[in-house]
């Protein structure tokens, strides 16, 4: 069956600089196993499948798959799916706002005047990493530059990230994770991946540099730009708006804007369509 399909680049208005996402715009009739097979075949960080909402007051429902597993929530798939649906002509039920159903419940997506899309960061559960794991973390990072006063924490937002703040952007960009140490650390902390970040000085291209790492089939994967990791980091910040650059180590230039409203962080980014057509599935 031919189904409408888009591949979009998220967290960039410039093609090939952000994080790619495959979107199946009408997934009715597909089983979970079929969705997982399609996601495995697309081999992108995530593939999303759009379904009718269970509550007609909401705009749509989405299921989110990596090549390995289904996620109850992920950030760049949330924005990329909303962007693809708007490009396809979806009319929001509330002006300037989309309401997405997914595994963590309802996620609100706002449409900014400049075309950027933003989601309110879901609530996260935080657990400070056991200090006994610090030597293993240092081995996983390959650097001993954890920022003083910022204990590493496991942040669970449907997908769980070990959040580590480093002292400098140079430290952040120099990290080349040790796969075996990272795998052991992920098992001990029950995290899906590790997100590291560091502040730029005045006049930098952004306020923070972010990198995110996962293991897939035992292989290290660096995610180009990560909405959920940035949302978890935002929940650790004092509440001032800031800008993020991510993807530098991959020769990408992903951009994320974090805007606080009434103390709640919203994660904003642009997107652009790369492929528009049909997929037989």
The more confidently predicted of residues 158 and 210 is: 210
Mean pLDDT of the chain: 96
Amino acid 59: pLDDT? 98
Q: Give the three-state DSSP class for 112.
A: coil
Distance separating alpha carbons of residues 159 and 178, to the nearest angstrom: 22
Q: For residue 49, which of 169, 57, 37 has the smallest C-alpha distance?
A: 37
DSSP for 179-235, please give it: HHHHHHHHHHHT-SEEEEEEE--TT-SSSEEEEEEEEETTEEEEESS-HHHHHHHHT
Find the largest Cα–Cα distance for the chain. Answer: 55
* 10 confidence band (pLDDT: 50, 70, 90): very high
Reply yes or no on whether the pLDDT at 217 is more than 90: no
CA 56 to chain centre: 27
* 86 confidence band (pLDDT: 50, 70, 90): very high
236-278 per-position pLDDT tens digit: 998 999 999 999 999 999 999 999 999 999 999 999 999 999 9
Q: Given CATH 3.10.310.10, say whether it is the number of domain 125-258.
A: yes
Amino acid 234: pLDDT? 97
**pLDDT (mean) for 169-186:** 98
**pLDDT (mean) for 4-27:** 98
* 162 confidence band (pLDDT: 50, 70, 90): very high
Q: Does 125-258 match 2-121+268-280 at the fold level?
A: yes
100-146 per-position pLDDT tens digit: 999 999 999 999 999 999 999 999 999 999 999 999 999 999 999 99
Amino acid 186: pLDDT? 98
Q: Map out the domains of the chain as residue ranges.
A: 2-121+268-280, 125-258
Amino acid 118: pLDDT? 98
Amino acid 61: pLDDT? 98
Q: Kindly state which CATH superfamily the domain 2-121+268-280 is placed in.
A: Diaminopimelate Epimerase; Chain A, domain 1 (3.10.310.10)
Residues designated as active site:
46
Structure tokens at 3: 């189904």
* 194 confidence band (pLDDT: 50, 70, 90): very high
């Amino acid at each position: 069956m031919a189904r409408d399909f888009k591949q979009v680049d998220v967290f960039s208005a410039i093609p090939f600089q952000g994080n790619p996402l495959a979107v199946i715009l009408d997934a009715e009739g597909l089983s979970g196993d079929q969705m997982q097979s399609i996601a495995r075949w697309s081999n992108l960080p995530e593939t999303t499948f759009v379904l009718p909402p269970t509550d007609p007051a909401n705009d749509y429902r989405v299921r989110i798959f990596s090549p390995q597993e289904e996620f109850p929530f992920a950030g760049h798939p949330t924005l990329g799916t909303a962007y693809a649906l708007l490009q396809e002509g979806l009319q929001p039920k509330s002006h300037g706002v989309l309401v997405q159903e997914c595994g963590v419940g309802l996620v609100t997506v706002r449409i900014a005047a400049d075309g950027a899309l933003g989601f309110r960061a879901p609530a996260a559960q935080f657990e400070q990493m056991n200090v006994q794991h610090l030597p293993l973390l240092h081995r996983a990072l390959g650097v001993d530059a954890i920022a003083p006063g910022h204990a590493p924490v496991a942040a669970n937002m449907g997908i769980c990230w070990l959040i580590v703040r480093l002292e400098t952007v140079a430290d952040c960009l120099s990290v080349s994770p040790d796969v075996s140490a990272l795998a052991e650390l992920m098992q001990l902390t029950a995290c899906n991946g590790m997100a590291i970040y560091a502040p730029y000085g005045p006049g930098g291209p952004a306020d923070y540099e972010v990198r995110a790492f996962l293991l897939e089939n035992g292989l290290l994967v660096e995610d180009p730009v990560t909405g959920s990791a940035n949302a978890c980091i935002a929940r650790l910040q004092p509440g001032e708006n800031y800008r993020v650059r991510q993807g530098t180590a991959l020769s990408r230039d992903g951009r994320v804007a974090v805007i606080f409203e009434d103390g709640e962080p919203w994660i904003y980014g642009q997107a652009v369509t790369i492929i528009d057509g049909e997929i037989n599935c």
